[in-house]
Amino acid sequence: MNTVRTYPTDADYYFIGDDGRSVGKFTIPTEPTEEINHIFTSLIPDEESTFIKVTVDNREGESQFTVDDITGYDTDGKEYKYQDFGATMSGPLWSVWEDIDISDDAAMQEYDELKALVDKYDNDIEPGAIKDVWLISQETSLPDELTRLGINGGSSYMGGTDALPVEMAEFDLDFEAPTN
């Protein structure tokens, strides 16, 4: 008999990277930080989204690790995809640049500050690092549970890995990214 695993959308999950050395953990969804919210509302004020913060421990990794996206599916097969926050904000940031009056010092300063904030949110975790990666989705209403939940990325693209409930972890997940 085949058992179907379900993934509640208010729970904590972890994954092991394709290299067997990197570990990540996340809660779906995650409340955005003030900084994430500031970037989002500054660049896309009329939109709503949900977010996931993925904390990756790559201290044992031998190569760069990336988190490209987290994708889940509901019982009807509808896709819920969370993508790299920094890359997603690059498009709206470019639109601001295209419309800016470069002689307006205040507008240029605001743009430069937003660009610096967006640039710091990439999805690459260097060997030896613990880092938070933020993902974003236009889905504002999640089902109570998903039937599939996977993470794409890694040290080499291998098609992704499945998320597992933190209760199943046989090792310590008590790590946090340092704040800078």
Q: Say yes or no to pLDDT of 157 above 60.
A: no
Q: What is the pLDDT of residue 153?
A: 80
User: What pLDDT does residue 24 have?
Assistant: 92
Q: Is 90 helix (H, G, I), strand (E, B) or coil?
A: helix
Looking at every residue in the chain, the average pLDDT score rounds to 89
Quick check: 86 and 104 in contact, CB under 8 A?
Answer: no
Does residue 98 sit in helix, strand or coil? helix
Among candidate residues 4, 21, 12, 17, the one with its CA nearest the CA of residue 166: 12
Given this model, what pLDDT does residue 126 score? 94
Instruction: Work out the angle at residue 72's Cα, subtended by the Cα atoms of residues 44 and 25, and round it to the nearest 5 degrees.
Output: 85
In this prediction, residue 3 carries a pLDDT of 55
Q: pLDDT tens-digit profile of 15-29?
A: 988 777 788 999 999
What are the beta bridge partners of residue 125? Answer: 65
Per-residue pLDDT of 120-154, as tens digits, reads 999 999 999 999 999 999 999 999 999 999 998 87
**What's the rounded Cα separation, in Å, for the pair 131 and 85?**
14
Question: According to the model, what pLDDT value does residue 1 have?
Answer: 44
Q: Using an 8 Å Cβ cutoff, are 71 and 79 in contact? A: yes
Q: pLDDT tens digit string along 51-71? A: 999 999 999 988 899 999 999
Residues contacting 89, CB < 8 A, separation 6+ = 39, 40, 43, 118, 121, 136
Instruction: Please state the rounded mean pLDDT for residues 77-105.
Output: 93
**CA torsion, points 150, 156, 158, 163, in degrees to nearest 10?**
-20
